[in-house]
Structure 1
């Protein structure tokens, strides 16, 4: 039973959606459901809604005919049990729906049955097709002749020595197959020559690696239970309140994030999500130039959520949240333990020892962790939202898994190293690549009329106002229109972007604000004229500020798969809408540039990337002054005190 417009879709609602579409004559034997999503009501309607008001629950479904390749988008009203919107998707101009699970399975069968592909494998001494595992990868859009309108994947292959073998260690390089997923045929084979096949095993399971015997257990307990409460999708912890969401494209989403202050919950972020992530590879060889993966838009990262396990993925007093999405046939699919929530100690919150009044005080920081983990092919990603006692919000993305391997061709004739990949094991290469994320932050600082200032540290030359040259200050630039809102980070001046509400002030008369602190690592390194720069234009800037629009959910458009770059954030900002004191969305690009190391093999230790948002005058003083003294038996001796 739903009780709020943003409640997550239930299994019953997903099943009802399919029944309504079936009764409307829109479901046949070859119909598939690559996208089934809650049609979130407009932001203004959600904010105006009151308990007891009627709910019109709507579902937006993308239907794919596997026989013809036709794509249709349909909106259903669950309450009216009727189709209320319907349109045909132009796959050439708009792009294709995400790749589905059954299509990954289809590709191996297509290639194993293709004479040309089997002959190319035989030339490499490989005559057992079932031992050749195929990685079907998104095709991108490169204006190649004959590809327009086709639903394609490009396929690289790996040898699996036995059923337990790590396939990524044995890349069959030099050969790529282009496969049409609708006609189930090989459109083209590109053979760039035969490369030595690495055969060294790269297992990392316990049976293959003797474990250390030096570690003693670490137990994290909360004998009185967790400090947070969960009622439906609403979570309350300390002074924080928010709603949990989950969908198949973005995975975990947070809604209506606010902080209790002065007897009311003050809104900060209306909706927060990872709206897209792309992994562009930097090897321009004939069999790899196209490797650019949009894990949200092309693969539906929410569908790849792991079932998290206590003691392995999460420690402590854990609350798990299951998720429900639609499978490829439009039926509900249950994802157990998709979301993990728990509290963590995070060291010292504040501390001071004062020689004048003889006091010593310390308080410990604590954070609420809301997380989920996904596996997309070879890589695994964890997304961890942290909420802190002092009002800080942080996102930590953890990248791990197995790097995508190639054969390593060795040095060039002049002795210089291969410029596009690292050698990480004998004969095994790992192409250079990036992991670039887009956080969509629909802001609502004490209301929807928000502004953004770019704030830099600024040197001041010696002069009448700074005679000794020690002075420095801040340079503040207001971003007034979307044409001014595409920005780059600059660590040399400590650049932050400060979101404020000019209609709400603190006790000092300052507009209430939060500052986005970027890591400022490299943006997209591909050439600005490249296909990936067009399709992932969001990766060319660390920040985009746009006027809020409910339909602008994904920075590379609704249909990213084989999208030529016609529907992304760079096209929206051409309208040059006002962003000064209006309802705005921040799109923050952050991520890793990965030059793989031998230490990343055969499985990569977690690497971190993310951002932090801190209050700046949002509160009248430190909002964590009321945090109690530490009370752990392990920290105090008899008669001691923390104040």
Structure 2
């Protein structure tokens, strides 16, 4: 099978995945109990990318986490292609502080179900609730990451927890029927139950949570069709992974862990394509729950680091997931056995109308206006009960937007109907959904007009009436340069934004060219500062982080998130030393006029409501990146007049 790769930043190909397995097998690193827990393309060096030209040989390094399911030991093996050599092998120190396990395998989900249902203590707890063999056979034992709490019987072991949900029939939605108070902790390596917690018995909610046509009834007939047509075809072109649309150029990649990855994002202002972002992705998210019950206090899922966002990507369907004239990209990744798995149509790309871009009417003259449109590049991942859509939008005026769409089914427990609880809300009779957050972290490898960038924090400032404001009407803005690596907080009352600018290029007004990051400024992590999740998800305690570039620094919570005690990821990137002068100690890496990475945390804090049941309407969150002096004038003045009576 050909390696089939056409650019150094392309996602892995089936040929490469097969070749890596072949090389690892030849090196004696595989066996009947060894599984592929993770496989990622190592970030190509920037100097190599700058020098590479189409047609030249492509060198790639692929990191594979090999998990021996018989012993629980893991090894990170790096294979160099096309040479076909094992460049390095490194033991994953899962039994040494601060610990950390590889993400879960798909095959371990079924293993959890079998282990739980065979356990006598769990069966006894189910019997106490009046559930017999028929109910047990239909039960769903959810495989849930356990977090880290320093328990001696979990440290160094590949642990997972399980909550139980019931089904009335094989097709029934289990999320409507939680068995409250029953938690099982499992050692996956040895297939044994470490602990069963039976906190209390609460009646299981009886009302179903199904939302298919049979449950909902006839569909409404009042909606008239909306037809989206492009009779002359799309405005974009695709060459391998490269996409060109109007002034934009970028490459579409895909990662087993991050999902959609965009590389080499640039905008052509008529003088040539100017770089904006070297690489952009959403490499992590955390979903911490605010419930104090034994059943859920430990829940704080890291959907990328514990489960893999890309591995759980959907195969998208024309007509609902994406509407219009669509171009799809397939995704390729290693299955648990190391053989290539293809997710067809994992990434969707299309254009869509976006209303008015600019408009003005002069008295006595015809009104002039132009319509906006945007290029949409998106994918969806389903992690258990939740579905997450990640939509990158590119606009004709040079704006970039990221929108995360959270939908699916809220995670519920059971309580006495009608009772009030400070940490959960009743959304159906006896069904209570805990308060929780969805905190996404975008990684923006900045390249605004080159590799020497800075960040200014820009606030709106009131001025007291006085010599500087004689009439009381004045206000101004204040710029504060970020000179040290670290985290920053949004402040909507000050209209706070962050400007990512070039330290080398200026516009025709003599000002640095910049892109403005506009946050939504919603809450960051609400858990207490000394909570275990605050150490593990330190990235989620600030809205913005600025770090000096590190080639292997991709994941804001670190590489081994599962059961990690915390402190990895952004805290270590912030503290990473730069190059000291001769004889001098190295200080932190430079972020003022340097090669920098901007990390932005955003997302909803969810107090569930009845309207979120039985399937949740999309909750939107995200941010904007707008050109701010990057261009000398409105770049969309030359758009055609598309006025039409239709």
TM-score bracket, shorter-length normalisation: over 0.9
Alignment match, 2:249: 241
C-alpha contact 2:322 2:348 (8 A) present in aligned 1: yes
RMSD: 1.1
Alignment match, 2:86: 83
Alignment match, 1:432: 435
What is the correspondence of 1:37-436 to structure 2 with a 5 Å cutoff?
37-92=40-95, 93-128=98-133, 129-210=136-217, 211-355=219-363, 358-409=365-416, 417-436=420-439
- Structure 2 length-normalised TM: 0.96
Superimposed CA distance per residue, residues 226-284 of structure 1 (whole angstroms, 9 cap, x where no aligned partner): 11011000000011000001011000010010001123110000000001011000101
Tell me how far apart the structure 2 counterparts of residues 94 and 320 of structure 1 sit (CA, whole Å).
39
Alignment match, 2:584: none
Superimposed CA distance per residue, residues 483-539 of structure 1 (whole angstroms, 9 cap, x where no aligned partner): xx3110000010000011121000000000000000000000000100000000011
From 471, 474, 496, the equivalent of 1:471 is 474
Offset at 1:411?
Answer: 6.7
Superimposed CA distance per residue, residues 12-34 of structure 1 (whole angstroms, 9 cap, x where no aligned partner): 11001001100100000000001
Alignment match, 1:520: 521
C-alpha contact 2:417 2:429 (8 A) present in aligned 1: no
Offset at 1:559?
Answer: 1.0
Superimposed CA distance per residue, residues 28-75 of structure 1 (whole angstroms, 9 cap, x where no aligned partner): 000000111112211232123223433222211000000000100001
Tell me how far apart the structure 1 counterparts of residues 415 and 606 of structure 2 sit (CA, whole Å).
17
**Pair 1:592-2:604 in alignment:** yes
Q: Give the direction of change, closer, same or farther, for the CA distance of 1:34–1:632 in structure 2 (3 Å limit).
A: farther
C-alpha contact 1:538 1:556 (8 A) present in aligned 2: yes
Task: Name whichever of 347-356 and 527-536 sits farther off.
Answer: 347-356
C-alpha contact 1:278 1:292 (8 A) present in aligned 2: yes
Tell me how far apart the structure 2 counterparts of residues 292 and 407 of structure 1 sit (CA, whole Å).
19
- Structure 1 length-normalised TM: 0.96
C-alpha contact 2:99 2:155 (8 A) present in aligned 1: no
Offset at 1:410?
Answer: 5.3
Which 5+ residue runs of structure 1 have no aligned equivalent?
A: 635-643
Tell me how far apart the structure 2 counterparts of residues 375 and 461 of structure 1 sit (CA, whole Å).
52
**Pair 1:532-2:533 in alignment:** yes
Runs of 4+ in 1 over 3 A off after TM superposition: 409-412
C-alpha contact 1:248 1:325 (8 A) present in aligned 2: yes
Alignment match, 1:605: 617
C-alpha contact 1:295 1:376 (8 A) present in aligned 2: yes
Alignment match, 2:583: none
Offset at 1:340?
Answer: 0.5
Superimposed CA distance per residue, residues 450-494 of structure 1 (whole angstroms, 9 cap, x where no aligned partner): 000000000111112310011110011000011xx3110000010
C-alpha contact 2:538 2:567 (8 A) present in aligned 1: no
C-alpha contact 1:408 1:421 (8 A) present in aligned 2: no
Q: Secondary structure at the match of 1:347?
A: strand
Alignment match, 1:617: 629
Alignment match, 1:641: none
Superimposed CA distance per residue, residues 203-226 of structure 1 (whole angstroms, 9 cap, x where no aligned partner): 110111121111111111101111
C-alpha contact 1:280 1:433 (8 A) present in aligned 2: yes
C-alpha contact 1:94 1:567 (8 A) present in aligned 2: no
Q: Secondary structure at the match of 2:487?
A: coil
Tell me how far apart the structure 1 counterparts of residues 519 and 567 of structure 2 sit (CA, whole Å).
28
Alignment match, 1:457: 460
Equivalenced residues, count: 627
Which 5+ residue runs of structure 2 have no aligned equivalent?
A: 577-587
